[in-house]
Structure 1
Amino acid sequence: MKEELYDALLNIKTTGDQKGFNQSLHYHRYEATPYFALELLCKTYEFKSSDRIVDFGCGKGRLNFYINHVFDATAVGIEMNDGFYREAMENRNRYLKKKKHSKDKIYFHCCLAEEYEIHPMDNRFYFFNPFSTQIFIKVINRILRSVETSQREVELILYYTSEDYIYFLENNTSFELKAEIRLPDAYEHNPNERFLIYRLAY
């Protein structure tokens, strides 16, 4: 299904180009996860309706709406760009016209990723290479501190991730690789076209 058709199905607008670049080199250019990649992820990795997914660098909220639509899970979007945050909120209003029961399951916060206060129920964290390794480390440390306070099963979902993210997780944390989901055809041309699932080991 084409990107525009998925948007129409969800009653949202997430296609189109990035509007400029972030001033800080620590924050990367926003790009929405392709729908065909989300489709594969959701066929291979099952979210539960009780899950609370946090998308760091959510942009216009595509992943949030898609996962809520498919699994009825709670989805939280963290976005530092005011323009994208406003578009995400407009998408939320449009989406809820069709799925009113999801009102308490879709949230967006306009803030820096490293300033987001991890909710005790947040248990799935999504990263589409949104920022530098320095910021990633700060976010992971906040997640770990949250788990110390409210112990729970936590998993990270990384798409198109950097080797530095992987190195940090595997050498400096208790996260262990649980699964690798390669995008057919695309992976052969670009090894970054994959999802890596990391689970926190106790």
Structure 2
Amino acid sequence: MNEQYYEKLLNINTSAEASRVQKSFHYHRYEPTPYSALEVLFREYELNSSDRIVDFGCGKGRLNFLIKRLFNSSVVGVEMNELFYKAALENRRSYLEKDKQAGEKIQFYCGLAEEYIVNPLDNCFYFFNPFSIQVFIKVINNILTSVEETSRTVEIVLYYPSEDYIYYLENYTSFVLKKEVRLEELYEQNPNERFLIYHLTY
């Protein structure tokens, strides 16, 4: 399926026409995960309606709306750029025209990822290299603190995973690699095109 198919299906516009412009090298430019890659991921990785997924660096909310459509999960998008945050809210309004009952399950937060207060119901966290390893460490530590306070199983999904992210998770946390979803069918020559799913039970 192509990008236009999903955008029409979800009644949203999440293209990367405008890039996130940052004053700090810690935050990377906006680039939505391709729908074709998400198709492969969700063939092998299923979510439940009871899950609550947080997308750090959500941009205009593509992942959030697709997850809600496929799994009826609750989704939270965290975005520091006000323009993209407003675009995500506009997409939410458009999406709700077709799925009027979804309101409470789709939320967006405008602010820095490391300042997002992890909800005790948050149990899956998605990263498409939205920021530097320094910010990633702060976010992971916030997740671990939340898990210590409210025991639960949590998972982290990395797309096009940074070696720094992988090294930190595998050497400084108790997260264990649960699954690797490779995308050779889409990107034959690029071994970085993959999803890594890490699991932690506390």
- The TM-score bracket by the shorter chain reads over 0.9
Q: Indicate whether 1:164 and 2:153 are aligned.
A: no
Deviations 1:67-115 (A, max 9, x none): 0000000010000000000000000000001001111100000000000
Is contact 2:57–2:113 with CA below 8 Å preserved after alignment?
yes
Q: Provide the rounded CA distance (Å) in 2 between the counterparts of 1:41 and 1:33.
A: 11
Q: Provide the rounded CA distance (Å) in 1 between the counterparts of 2:73 and 2:180.
A: 22
Is contact 2:157–2:198 with CA below 8 Å preserved after alignment?
yes
Alpha-carbon shift at residue 31 of structure 1 (Å): 0.2
Q: Which residue is equivalent to 2:76?
A: 76
Q: Which residue is equivalent to 2:197?
A: 197
Deviations 1:137-158 (A, max 9, x none): 0000000000011111100000
Aligned residues: CA RMSD: 1.0
Q: Indicate whether 1:11 and 2:41 are aligned.
A: no
Q: Which residue is equivalent to 2:126?
A: 126
Is contact 1:176–1:201 with CA below 8 Å preserved after alignment?
no
Query: Gaps spanning 5+ residues in structure 2: where?
Result: none
Q: Indicate whether 1:180 and 2:180 are aligned.
A: yes
Q: Which residue is equivalent to 1:2?
A: 2
Deviations 1:143-188 (A, max 9, x none): 0000011111100000001100000000000000000000133453
Q: Provide the rounded CA distance (Å) in 2 between the counterparts of 1:20 and 1:118.
A: 24
* SS of the residue 1:199 aligns to: strand
- Percent sequence identity is 62
Aligned partner of 1:148: which letter? E
Q: Map 1:21-32 to 2 at 5 A.
A: 21-32=21-32
Aligned partner of 2:2: which letter? K
Alpha-carbon shift at residue 34 of structure 1 (Å): 0.2
Query: Gaps spanning 5+ residues in structure 1: where?
Result: none
Q: Provide the rounded CA distance (Å) in 1 between the counterparts of 2:18 and 2:28.
A: 11
Q: Provide the rounded CA distance (Å) in 1 between the counterparts of 2:187 and 2:173.
A: 27
Q: Normalising by structure 1, report the TM-score.
A: 0.97
Q: Provide the rounded CA distance (Å) in 2 between the counterparts of 1:8 and 1:201.
A: 38
145-154 vs 14-23, which deviates more? 14-23
Q: Alpha carbons of 1:98 and 1:201: their partners in 2 closer, same or farther (altered >3 Å)?
A: same
